[in-house]
């Protein structure tokens, strides 16, 4: 990964966020999870093909016609799909104690190395324009930027020592619409505070609210309401460091919260083709070189949700 380019930015007036089953493994040797049902796979495959540039019939292989899938496209999708099933994010309630210990040990190792703090500090730089408080571009960047950020955190945790690293670790998600207990089993670093949930406002969304979000056909209303109603309110409800927009990722519960936001977006993408309205420099998810298009698919990025 390229070095982090840090710049200063004007801070918001207030620190809080603005208001508005683990399944059986199908193959132990590969560690595959049946995270995707057949219909979902078909939809993802259609999305994969639709994103491809037009190809002459000859490129699809001998005998290929207009209704046949190019062999290379099919092969690439199967490789991506298989890879994503070996890197499956699951509901944190389904983790074993061993899994929880491995996750916390990775957090502690990254914190001891200082890489965790460096990663968490990125969120305090509002010049990245990753929230709606930065204006219309921030609204468009919210989901792709945090997808890239959460993947970066997962990569950091998978790369740390001791115990030969944690190459199979994934960030679990917190399904806060159905799980109303803050996941306090997650390691609490020094200087991170966790107050009484809900004591300073905020709320957890209902599943009905999430279902209604998933029915919204256009990207901008979907991401706008997801950010305010099923993200900001959750941060504020948690109370403590995670409710301070400048410092939130210093509490590792942040990653479980954002894995769920990303999961909701991934579910929405199965039924809708909308995407962020970004171009040029606005589409680059700084401080990384990835663009919004690069992170449009969890399958292409190599992970999935169970």
Report the b/e string of 121-143 with b at 16+ CB within 10 A: ebbbbbebbbbbbbeebbbbbbb
pTM of the full structure: 0.80
Band of residue 17 on the pLDDT scale cut at 50, 70, 90:
low
Contacts of 181 (CB under 8 A, 6+ apart): none
Which of 7, 222, 219 shows the shortest CA–CA distance to 125?
7
* Assigned token pair, 174: 């917190």
Count the Cβ atoms, other than its own, within 10 Å of residue 61: 13
Q: What is the pLDDT of residues 237-256, one digit of tens each?
A: 999 999 999 999 999 999 99
* Assigned token pair, 244: 């301070």
Identify the residue whose tokens are 């991934």. Answer: 266
pLDDT at 115: 96
* Assigned token pair, 233: 């309110």
Q: Please tell me the distance from the alpha carbon of residue 31 to that of residue 134, in angstroms, as a whole number.
A: 41
What's the average model confidence in pLDDT over 227-235? Answer: 97
Give the N- to C-terminal CA distance of the chain in Å, as an integer.
Answer: 27
Q: In this structure, are residues 263 and 272 in contact, taking their beta carbons and an 8 Å threshold?
A: no
């Amino acid at each position: 990964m390229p070095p982090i380019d840090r710049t200063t930015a004007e801070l918001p007036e207030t620190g809080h966020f603005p208001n508005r089953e683990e399944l059986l493994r199908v193959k132990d040797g590969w560690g595959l999870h049946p995270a995707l049902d057949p219909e979902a796979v078909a939809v993802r495959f259609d999305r994969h093909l639709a994103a491809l540039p037009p190809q002459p019939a000859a490129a699809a292989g001998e005998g290929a016609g207009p209704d046949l899938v190019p062999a290379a496209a099919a092969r690439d999708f199967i490789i991506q799909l298989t890879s994503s099933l070996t890197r499956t994010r699951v509901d944190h309630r389904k983790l074993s104690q061993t899994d929880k210990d491995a996750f916390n040990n990775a957090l502690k190792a990254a914190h001891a190395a200082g890489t965790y703090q460096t990663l968490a500090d990125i969120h305090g730089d509002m010049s990245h324009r990753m929230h709606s408080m930065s204006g219309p571009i921030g609204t468009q960047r919210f989901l792709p930027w945090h997808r890239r950020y959460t993947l970066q955190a997962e990569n950091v945790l998978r790369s740390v020592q001791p115990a030969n690293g944690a190459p199979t670790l994934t960030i679990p998600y917190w399904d806060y619409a159905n799980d109303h207990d803050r996941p306090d089993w997650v390691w609490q670093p020094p200087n991170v505070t966790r107050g009484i949930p809900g004591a300073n406002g905020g709320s957890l969304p209902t599943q009905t609210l999430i279902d209604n979000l998933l029915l919204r056909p256009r990207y901008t209303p979907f991401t706008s309401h997801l950010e305010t109603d099923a993200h900001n309110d959750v941060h504020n409800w948690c109370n403590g460091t995670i409710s301070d927009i400048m410092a939130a990722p210093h509490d590792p519960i942040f990653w479980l919260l954002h894995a769920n936001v990303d999961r909701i977006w991934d579910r929405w993408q199965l039924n809708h083709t909308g995407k962020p309205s970004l171009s040029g420099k606005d589409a680059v998810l700084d401080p990384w070189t990835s663009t919004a298009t690069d992170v449009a698919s969890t399958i292409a990025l190599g992970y999935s949700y169970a």
